[in-house]
Structure 1
Amino acid sequence: MTLPRRLVAEALGTALLLAIVIGSGVMGDRLAGGNDAIALLGNTLSTGAGLAVLITIFGPVSGAHLNPAVSLVFALKRELPPVTALLYVAAQAAGAVAGVWAAHLMFDLPVLQESIKLRAGPAQAFSEFVATFGLLITILGTVRFRPDYTATAVGLYITSAYWFTASTSFANPAVTVARSLSDTFAGIAPSSVPFFLGAQITGAITAMLVMQWMLRGTRPA
């Protein structure tokens, strides 16, 4: 695949991911009648299922990173050229914002928003470290031994992590920044974003180092 096609795949895939995250959050919130557990369940199932589909579709084109933390890890592993990694991140960021705006338009909400939903404190930041660490070991493990299962494994992991992390598992810098532009159920206040980003990058790099040590000498599928 040519680089322009790969970049379009990353932008489009990330846009659809954010449309799913924000849109299902709005729908769940509207239908749950004030029950946050039901709203989160709807948000979770839609996101996990949609993510598995998006990775299946765009994986053969660009690798379906859809996540700057994933692109960073593959760049550090020298499996993605640095310039290409930067272009991937730019495409993901642009796609994420477009996806948020698309969700707002679908639900007849103001396109330009800023979230006021605080997600602050050490527990939230640590949750993002754990969520991103788990996501990267899922990706690195399945890519090495069961590449055909990667889409399913990532979708299942995110579905699980929505519920076992206090932060509901953003695990994605592009998603985090874009969700600060939506004052809806899935939003995050801009003041909380830097803590999430730091935890996500740290979690991703830690996962890479752990998996490099653990998988050293093993044969890939």
Structure 2
Amino acid sequence: MHAARADLQALRAVGAEALGTMALLAIVIGSGVMAERLASGNDAVALLANTLATVLGLMVLIELLGPVSGAHFNPAVTLVQAARGALPRGRALPYVGAQLLGAAAGAWLAHAMFDLPILQFSTKLRDGPGQWLAEGVASAGLLLVVLRATPQRAATLVAAWIGAAYWFTASTSFANPAAAFGRMFSDSFAGIAPASVPGFVLAQLAGAAVGLALHRALGPTRTAAG
């Protein structure tokens, strides 16, 4: 009975990661499509609208699904949490698989809502040392927030960091390998060309490692060691 209950809990957690990542990508891509249509060519207004939708949606998703799965929605977060023992290592691969599938499904859902071709690939190249450094900074900051925020404030602080990093980083802060993966399936405002994805993912993983190192260097938080 105990094993069956544990298996059901693990299945629910993996499902929550797929659902949350799908919803997050639908929010990011869908709000980008809407913003681009309404902004009349003003990229600053479009980015502001895209940022607000992402921040609000991310807060809701973390609050709703955090108690089920931890609300990672991000392979970099999952791998760091597994490496430090905060997530059973056997869940890491299912989490990452669910996040990637959810990200692609989120792109397709956004397209369906806006009557766009479901299957497409982005042509928006995002390359260069500045972009890669920006992704490393955004990812390091995100992991530092995730690891040090109290559970009560995690949703607000994570969303606030992502919203700020949309504007102060050259890459507009993907900070998430699943987001990069999903956004390559959308030739829209939020898209990234497939050829640009490997550089972003490597930078994100490196940034996540830096975030973990900074967390350890800063010492235990008020509520937990780690």
Is the counterpart of residue 192 in structure 1 residue 175 in structure 2?
A: no
State the TM-score, normalized to the length of structure 1: 0.96
The 3-state SS of whatever aligns with 1:148 is coil
Deviations 1:30-85 (A, max 9, x none): 00000000000000000011001100000000000010000010011012122201
The 3-state SS of whatever aligns with 2:153 is helix
Is the counterpart of residue 149 in structure 1 residue 153 in structure 2?
A: yes
Deviations 1:92-123 (A, max 9, x none): 11111111000000000000001000101000
Matched residues in 2 for 1:170 and 1:55: separation? 17
The 3-state SS of whatever aligns with 1:120 is coil
Structure-to-structure mapping, 1:55-94, within 5 angstroms:
55-94=62-101
Listed as ranges, the gaps of 5+ residues in structure 2 are: 1-7
Aligned AA for 1:165?
T
1:214, distance to aligned residue in structure 2 (A): 1.1
Aligned mate of 2:176, from 160, 166, 172: 172
Matched residues in 2 for 1:129 and 1:197: separation? 9
Aligned AA for 2:21?
T
Q: Could you say which residue in structure 2 is the equivalent of 1:54?
A: 61
Aligned mate of 1:220, from 214, 219, 223: 223
Moved more, 204-213 or 126-135: 204-213
1:219, distance to aligned residue in structure 2 (A): 4.2
Is the counterpart of residue 108 in structure 1 residue 112 in structure 2?
A: no
1:210, distance to aligned residue in structure 2 (A): 1.4
Is the counterpart of residue 97 in structure 1 residue 104 in structure 2?
A: yes
Q: Could you say which residue in structure 1 is the equivalent of 2:3?
A: none
Could you tell me the percent identity over the aligned residues?
A: 58
The 3-state SS of whatever aligns with 2:200 is helix
Q: Could you say which residue in structure 2 is the equivalent of 1:21?
A: 28
Q: Could you say which residue in structure 2 is the equivalent of 1:123?
A: 130
Deviations 1:149-179 (A, max 9, x none): 0001111111100000000000000000110
The 3-state SS of whatever aligns with 1:79 is coil
Moved more, 204-213 or 123-132: 204-213
Q: Could you say which residue in structure 2 is the equivalent of 1:160?
A: 164
Listed as ranges, the gaps of 5+ residues in structure 1 are: none
Q: Could you say which residue in structure 2 is the equivalent of 1:203?
A: 207
Q: How many residues align?
A: 217
